[in-house]
Chains A and B, each alone.
Chain A
Amino acid sequence: MTKLVEWLLGVSLVGAAWALVSFDLLDLSLPQTYREVAWPMPLYLLVSFGCFSLATVGYRVATFNDCDEAAKELMEQIKEAKEDLRKRGLKM
């Protein structure tokens, strides 16, 4: 079974469970509050995934380390490359 088929199976199982609970397809007569909570679940999961992504990006922006030696090395290499290209006739 390929990964795609596995994922599709998982998603359709979860989707079926969600539809069962929110639209009462089997007439189980769950309490109204549980149905009210279950119905926006896909949207809620999407919103919380978005929040998690935003928080991860923000955290990694705040804790990104400066790499001084790598920056210096990069400037050196840029100078060398410019020299080399100038010698070969490229006008910068």
Chain B
Amino acid sequence: MATGVDQAVGMSLVVFSLLLFTYYSVWVIILPFMDNEHTLHKYFLPREYSVILPGIAAVVLLLCIGAFTAVIMWKNRKPKKVD
């Protein structure tokens, strides 16, 4: 069995993704069926954010991947040979 930090990191990833999935599911699927006066609504942002926030996250992710690729390619450039 993986030990120590590996287990902690793995389990925290699982818990985090479960929480995210539950929150997002309630936000997108269950909330529209609740009355506007239900107390559940105060735990959730307005519904427009359920589209905007993942969009921003996707853009940030693409930026990080692009920046990482650019840094790696910059470090690996070879100067032209001089004869």
Contact = CB atoms under 8 A, between A and B. Distances in A.
Interface in B1-52: 1-3, 6-7, 9-14, 16-18, 20-21, 24-25, 28-29, 32-33, 47, 50-51
A62 B29 CA distance: 31
Contacts of B21: 47-48, 51-52
B37 to A, nearest CB: 15
B2 A58 contact: no
A15 to B, nearest CB: 17
Q: For the complex, would chain B's binding face be called helix, strand, loop or mixed by DSSP majority?
A: helix
Interface of B: 1-3, 6-7, 9-14, 16-18, 20-21, 24-25, 28-29, 32-33, 47, 50-51, 54-55
Interface of A: 33, 36-37, 40, 43-44, 46-48, 51-52, 54-55, 57-66
